[in-house]
């Protein structure tokens, strides 16, 4: 699951939303229905096995079911719908209108390029008509505030880590065109991706030149885009690797804009002017005394030397490329075909996602409360909220009790940990107001959005503008701790250190994670483990830096802090020694995945102990017929099942560098190798792979 420390992305929540199942639609086709007669009635044993198969199979299709449910509500008539639902359905229809998207071809993109100073590589006379008035501050601010795209400099508004009640401006190193900085330097598959990426740039630039009736000049395009690649490689080299950005307390550097200008001036770049241009889009004024938090100090120190080496046209070519690459999927088929080789190198496939799924995903990501309301009305059982809240209390209680077992933590730090655990707030299912027909709040969220069924590309630009403005205008607003950080139709769960809050959307409250109809062993092994995982995030290597109120504050004694690092180092070595053959024999990063590994280990331990307490209070559950497994074994079986999935080698190579989670099989193996109860339940001999003599434990 996810926590929300990483904030610097184009759509902040995009970073947090990950699919859990990793399954394709084709995997639904497990059983073939038949109308033939003459079959024997099912035996009691067969029924039991079928029930178990159904429960286990749900893991493969949970996400597909969510998408299908969302598709169903988006494709119904909007007659009589409230305004928010109507807009969601219009957006979906515009996305599904592939005929019109083909007819319009590149025209909407060409119009968008004019808004941000055009693309020199695809212009006949850019150096004469545009370059004399070109301003880096101006163009970066338009990219940020109009297109929600932060290039070269990642400037955004978020909760102040040291004061969770207020918002502040952050300055950080930027994202890159490819998923990881490793793609710019390493060999093997990374080199193949790099070569395909450059060719993708060149091909699209040629297409835009042709569409603008600019004379053909292939050598010029190749030279210009090679410079863009060179520039982005230098930017990638200046960014700090993720493993070296693991301690948020070391990243946080607060200063005024005047101090920022003094420390990081480059090429007469005016920081106050740039940030004021961004903030003016939401009518917010800043001055040189405005405080900002700089996360990317090493990067900014390198940026001056990089920028001074490149012309305005090369920098502008790069800015526009970063805008174009995001919009290719919104254009006609020929643009998607242009990226096929890049997709093949990066993901191992050229196959595009089914159009309806792509459109459902897009609408849900951009109108999450509208889609969430329709999804909840259609599929969610209200009683689930109460049952999950009860599970949260049971597992929280176990976490607090388990603190007494820890020898590495002194009593003063344990008491602070108890206070923080008891203060964790929870959000379950969905915000109540989205189902209240007479509450205007849902419609007001989308009041400034104006969509057309005929203009999908422009609808996307509307969403980008609205997303940027929603974030930026928070600068002068107090933090609302009750606002949901994600929509209801999401198969995931979250912990926010700035809020000390756990969130379980309606989308994850379904089998195999949870059902009021399935044995409690499966519920505790599914959603119970997820609950424990999210609670433990409050005490992982990042969450432990925040207090019960969500402020970055050191509440640890020196003794406990030192021993926390020692306990954590055991897991760093354990997971760092897993070699993933599918990713070309690379080892998992024990440092980058540490927070998730701590949460996985703590989550399964707490959920299992909570299940044992439930058994003591409620008595044994009936055994599933035809299945020679105890309910304790079923607990672990469902824990493993929810992480079942597969990777293509190309995607594995990407995931091992970009995902803060360990690969799925190591999430399961690593946690269970450390848990004595698993060895006891499955009778593993000591010294075997799943019952090693040395075990790691933090919580």
The residues carrying an active-site annotation are: 534, 600
160 pairs with which residues across the strands? 163
Is residue 695 within 8 A of residue 676, CB to CB? The reply is yes
Report the SS3 class of residue 134.
coil
Alpha carbon 347 to chain centroid, angstroms? 17
Q: How are beta strands 501-505 and 494-496 bridged, if at all?
A: antiparallel
Q: How far apart are CA 1 and CA 22, in angstroms?
A: 14
Q: Where are the beta strands (DSSP E) in 153-208?
A: 154-160, 163-172
Q: How far apart are CA 545 and CA 559, in angstroms?
A: 15
Is residue 645 within 8 A of residue 22, CB to CB? The reply is yes
Is residue 205 within 8 A of residue 225, CB to CB? The reply is yes
- Number of C-beta neighbours around residue 179 at 10 A: 17
Tell me the backbone φ, ψ of residue 348, rounded to 5 degrees. 85, 10
What percent of the residues of the chain are helix, what percent strand, and what percent coil, each to the nearest 5?
A: 60, 5, 35
Q: What is the 3-state secondary structure (H, E, C) of 106-119?
A: CHHHHHHHHHCCCC
Is residue 645 within 8 A of residue 21, CB to CB? The reply is yes
| Encoded tokens for 129 | 């008509």
User: For the chain, how big is the Rg over CA atoms in Å?
Assistant: 26
Q: Which of 11, 358, 335 is nearest to 150 (CA)?
A: 11
Q: How are beta strands 253-256 and 291-294 bridged, if at all?
A: antiparallel
Alpha carbon 319 to chain centroid, angstroms? 24
Report the SS3 class of residue 488.
coil
Q: Which uninterrupted H or E stretch holds 533?
A: helix 529-537
Q: How far apart are CA 490 and CA 371, in angstroms?
A: 10
| Encoded tokens for 476 | 């002068």
Between the CA of residue 258 and those of 144, 286, 475, what are the distances in Å? 21, 11, 18
Is residue 591 within 8 A of residue 660, CB to CB? The reply is no
| Encoded tokens for 127 | 């150096």
What b-and-e string marks burial along 125-141, b requiring 16 or more CB atoms within 10 Å of the CB? ebeeebeeebbbbebbb
């Amino acid at each position: 699951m996810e926590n929300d420390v990483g904030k610097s992305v184009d759509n902040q929540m995009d970073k947090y939303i990950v699919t859990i199942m990793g399954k394709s639609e084709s995997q639904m086709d497990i059983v073939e229905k038949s109308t033939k007669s003459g079959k024997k009635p099912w035996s009691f044993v067969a029924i039991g096995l079928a029930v178990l198969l159904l429960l286990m199979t749900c893991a493969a299709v949970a996400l597909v079911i969510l998408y299908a449910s969302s598709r169903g509500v988006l494709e119904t008539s909007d007659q009589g719908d409230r305004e928010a639902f109507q807009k969601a359905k219009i957006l979906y229809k515009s996305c599904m209108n592939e005929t019109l998207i083909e007819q319009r071809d590149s025209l909407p993109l060409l119009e968008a390029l004019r808004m941000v100073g055009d693309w020199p590589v695809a212009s006949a006379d850019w150096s004469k008509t545009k370059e004399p008035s070109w301003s880096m501050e101006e163009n970066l601010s338009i990219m940020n505030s109009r297109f929600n795209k932060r290039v070269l400099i990642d400037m955004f508004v978020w909760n102040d880590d040291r004061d969770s009640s207020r918002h502040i401006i952050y300055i950080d190193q930027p994202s890159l065109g490819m998923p990881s900085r490793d793609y710019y330097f390493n060999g093997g598959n990374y080199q193949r991706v790099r070569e395909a990426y450059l060719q993708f740039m060149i091909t699209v630039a040629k297409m835009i030149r042709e569409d603008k009736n600019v004379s053909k000049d292939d050598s010029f395009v190749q030279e210009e885009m090679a410079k863009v690649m060179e520039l982005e490689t230098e930017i990638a080299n200046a960014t700090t690797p993720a493993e070296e950005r693991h301690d948020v307390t070391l990243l946080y550097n607060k200063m005024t804009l005047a101090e920022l200008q003094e420390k990081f001036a480059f090429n007469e770049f005016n920081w106050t002017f740039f940030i004021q241009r961004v903030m003016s889009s939401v009518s917010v004024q800043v001055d040189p005394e405005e405080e900002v938090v700089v996360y990317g100090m090493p990067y900014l120190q390198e940026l001056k030397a990089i920028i001074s080496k490149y012309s305005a046209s090369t920098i502008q070519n790069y800015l526009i490329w970063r805008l174009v690459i995001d919009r290719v999927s919104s254009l006609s088929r020929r643009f998607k075909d242009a990226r096929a080789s890049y997709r093949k190198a990066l993901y191992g496939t050229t196959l595009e996602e089914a159009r309806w799924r792509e459109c459902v995903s897009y609408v849900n990501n951009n109108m999450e409360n509208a889609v969430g309301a329709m999804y909840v009305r259609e599929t969610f059982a209200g009683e689930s909220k109460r049952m999950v809240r009860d599970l949260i209390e049971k597992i929280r209680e176990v976490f607090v009790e388990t603190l007494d077992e820890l020898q590495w933590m002194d009593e003063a730090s344990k008491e602070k940990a108890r206070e923080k655990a008891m203060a964790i707030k929870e959000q379950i299912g969905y915000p109540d107001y989205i189902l209240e027909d007479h509450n205007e709040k849902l419609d007001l969220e989308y009041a400034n959005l104006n969509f057309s069924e005929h203009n999908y590309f422009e609808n996307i630009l509307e969403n980008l503008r609205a997303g940027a403005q929603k974030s930026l205008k928070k600068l002068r607003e107090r933090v609302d701790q009750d606002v949901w950080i994600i929509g209801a139709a999401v198969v995931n769960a979250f912990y926010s250190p700035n809020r000390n809050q756990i969130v379980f959307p309606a989308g994850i409250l379904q089998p195999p994670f949870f059902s009021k109809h399935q044995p409690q062993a499966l519920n505790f092994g599914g959603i119970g483990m997820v609950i424990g995982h999210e609670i433990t995030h409050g005490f992982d290597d990042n969450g432990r830096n925040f207090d019960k109120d969500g402020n970055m504050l050191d509440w640890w004694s020196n003794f406990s802090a030192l021993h926390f690092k020692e306990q954590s180092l055991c897991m760093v070595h354990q997971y760092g020694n897993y070699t993933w053959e599918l990713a070309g024999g690379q080892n998992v990063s024990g440092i980058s995945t540490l927070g998730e590994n701590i949460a996985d280990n703590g989550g399964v331990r707490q959920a299992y102990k909570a299940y044992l307490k439930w058994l003591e209070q409620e008595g044994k559950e009936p055994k599933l017929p035809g299945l020679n497994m105890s309910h304790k074994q079923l607990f672990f079986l469902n824990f493993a099942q929810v992480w079942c999935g597969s990777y293509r080698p190309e995607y594995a190579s990407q995931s091992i560098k970009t995902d803060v989670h360990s690969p799925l099989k190591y999430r399961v193996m690593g946690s269970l190798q450390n848990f004595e109860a698993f060895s006891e339940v499955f009778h593993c001999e000591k010294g075997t792979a799943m019952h090693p003599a040395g075990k790691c434990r933090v919580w």
